[in-house]
Structure 1
Amino acid sequence: MDAATMPWSVGIRFSHAALQALADDHGVDLLHIKGPAVDDSLGGATRQSIDADVLVRPSHVDRLLAAMHLHGWKTQYLFEDGSAFEHASTLVHPFLAPVDVHRRFPGIDQNPAAAFERLWADRHVTDLAGMPCAVPSVTAQRLILIAHAARGGRLTHPDIDTSWTRAPAFERDAVSQLADDIGAGVALAAGTGRLEEFVGHPGHELWRVLSTGERSRARIWAARVRAAPTKRAALRTAVRLVMPNRHRMEARLGRRPTAREVASAYVASARGGACELAGFLRSVATERRGR
């Protein structure tokens, strides 16, 4: 997108509209989330974003990506290149703002298809760059904003204040009920100061380190592995988190990394991981001796 001819905020709205047009043409169900798609009562009119975000019905993701590729979009990051949740793929376009295509939303632990259906059932329509776009209910938007802020370790973020702290009791009750319905109770608790209610839950430690802005890679690594739903998923997560990301290396370098650069990244990652792990184990031992 040429920032000299189009304000970034306008480009994001056009990206939302372009994706909605593709969705309409190819029978794709998607919900526009965050950024300008947020309801005005939650500060949508003044929000600043770096990309457009959409949550897609899981069975329609491949269809949408294929349509986007046919219309000038290129995949910058695969789902596996993002967070440990592997929730979104980033696509870029020569004339439009980047888009994050979500196949699930971090913090929503229910089956992605069932969770999407629940959110889709309560959708309504808003205008983005002249295009009628489906967005989640305001209750769901509150939950998404809280979970997003908590995942980023921003517990004092205005989104939590607006979506929860200053919300009337009936709105908080509705958010809590929705969180229970789609398996987002731990994420909501992390964002609203009630995480101790979920001690022992598989996701407790992960959301504790995420919501507190933990900087230790080893602690974050250990928490993500513990939160994996199966042993196979835990092993896959453990391996992936210590491997250098080739797509991110390519984006940083502006070209495909050489074999030597990849090998060097593997060595650096292994060394850094070993140092982090040693420090983590020492801190755990110290904590246990202090009990």
Structure 2
Amino acid sequence: MVSFSLNEANELAHALLAQIGRDTGIRLLSIKGLVADRYGLRKPRVAADADVIVEPSRFDEFCRLLTGHGWHLRVEREVPSLLGPHSVTFIRDDWPNDIDAHVRFPGFFATDAEVFERLWQTRGRMEVAHVDVSVPSRGASAVIAALHAVRYSKSARHAGELEQVAHLLIDDFSPEEREEFIDVARVGRAQWVLRELFDLIGRPYELDADARQQHLWNTNRATIEDGAAVSWLHSLRAAPLHQKPAVLVRALWISRADIPRNDPTRLPTAREAWAHRLLRWRRGGVALMHYVKIKR
């Protein structure tokens, strides 16, 4: 059994991911936690996972390679998402952390390829666990940090992180870093999402999200702490009439095989399955009541 701290595990995971990229020619960038900490984009804290964004055309190949290094998917059923799926979580039984492999990042409304190429153009290097790791520039990483913070801005911690990015943009970034922040948001079609920051730095922004994208973003932002209940409701409304019963059944019922767990070889007991279902139904009911209040 491997024994190391969560922080050590994250650093080793970033080093491993960088090595996979070098060995195979797959382009990838370490993002979020460790990178944001080193750029001073948030107060340092130990993340629960190592995040990486991978060139979209080779994302599936990268995921297969990662399983060859002993990592596997956590058992969980596929659920709808207002903003669409954006990452896959891998775990390893003898490691204390996760790896979050991203093909896109919520808040960017340009194509996955356009976003990745612009991030890749900004790339630099950080030494992590004595390995050179490719990372987006400070300006580009600030866009990612801001998008994540805006998405969860009802959380006091994330609201604080958004204030930290705003402070750096105004008082600490060089003109070149500030321009790169603006251009990455422009190319990635994230100006509307980050409009408050554009206002703070006195820069005009384009309305680069259409009405549907704005509605989904705002709904997701308002209900993100409530889990998937609102996403299931949107899927039910959007489904053709003849498919609505099947969508409703999938929303309400979860089989024992689909109960979320780390060990895919262990089937939950009937008692554990019912406990999970009851908890989900209770949370779902609270989430839907919250959603109704928001819509009034």
Which of 7, 10, 21 pairs up with 1:9? Answer: 7
Aligned to 2:103: 103
Q: Structure 1: how far apart are the matches of 2:37 and 2:4?
A: 24
Q: State the SS of the aligned residue for 2:216.
A: helix
Q: Structure 1: how far apart are the matches of 2:98 and 2:229?
A: 31
Q: Structure 2: how far apart are the matches of 1:219 and 1:75?
A: 23
Structure 1, unmatched stretches of 5+, are none
Residues 1:176 and 2:174 aligned together: no
Q: Which has the higher contact order (CA 8 A, sep 6+)?
A: 2
Which of 63, 68, 71 pairs up with 1:70? Answer: 68
Q: State the SS of the aligned residue for 1:12.
A: helix
Q: Structure 1: how far apart are the matches of 2:283 and 2:42?
A: 40
Q: Structure 2: how far apart are the matches of 1:45 and 1:283?
A: 32
Structure 2, unmatched stretches of 5+, are none
Aligned to 2:267: 256
Q: 1:277 to 1:159 in 2, by over 3 A?
A: closer
1:1-291 aligned within 5 A: 2=2, 5-38=3-36, 40-43=38-41, 46-76=44-74, 80=78, 84=82, 85-96=84-95, 97-153=97-153, 154=155, 157-168=159-170, 170=175, 171-189=177-195, 201-212=211-222, 220-221=230-231, 239=247, 242=251, 249-251=259-261, 255-257=266-268, 277=288, 280=291, 284=295, 287=296
Q: Structure 2: how far apart are the matches of 1:158 and 1:276?
A: 25
Query: How big is the shift at 1:277?
Result: 5.0
Q: State the SS of the aligned residue for 2:85.
A: coil
Q: Structure 2: how far apart are the matches of 1:99 and 1:119?
A: 20
C-alpha contact 1:139 1:174 (8 A) present in aligned 2: yes
Q: 1:9 to 1:81 in 2, by over 3 A?
A: farther
C-alpha contact 1:242 1:269 (8 A) present in aligned 2: no
Percent identity of paired positions between Structure 1 and Structure 2: 25
Q: State the SS of the aligned residue for 1:177.
A: helix
Letter in 2 for 1:53: D
Greater CA drift, 76-85 or 172-181: 76-85
TM-score relative to the length of structure 2? 0.72
Q: State the SS of the aligned residue for 1:42.
A: coil
C-alpha contact 1:125 1:135 (8 A) present in aligned 2: yes
Q: 1:11 to 1:276 in 2, by over 3 A?
A: closer
Query: How big is the shift at 1:168?
Result: 2.8
Query: How big is the shift at 1:72?
Result: 1.0
Q: Structure 2: how far apart are the matches of 1:12 and 1:176?
A: 29
C-alpha contact 1:79 1:89 (8 A) present in aligned 2: no
Greater CA drift, 48-57 or 33-42: 33-42
Q: Structure 2: how far apart are the matches of 1:116 and 1:283?
A: 34
Q: Structure 1: how far apart are the matches of 2:280 and 2:43?
A: 42
Q: State the SS of the aligned residue for 1:183.
A: coil
Q: State the SS of the aligned residue for 2:110.
A: coil
Q: State the SS of the aligned residue for 1:108.
A: coil
Q: 1:98 to 1:271 in 2, by over 3 A?
A: closer
| RMSD, aligned α-carbons | 4.4
C-alpha contact 2:31 2:51 (8 A) present in aligned 1: yes
Q: 1:213 to 1:262 in 2, by over 3 A?
A: closer
Letter in 1 for 2:90: L
Query: How big is the shift at 1:177?
Result: 2.9
Letter in 2 for 1:73: W
Letter in 2 for 1:106: P
C-alpha contact 2:76 2:258 (8 A) present in aligned 1: no
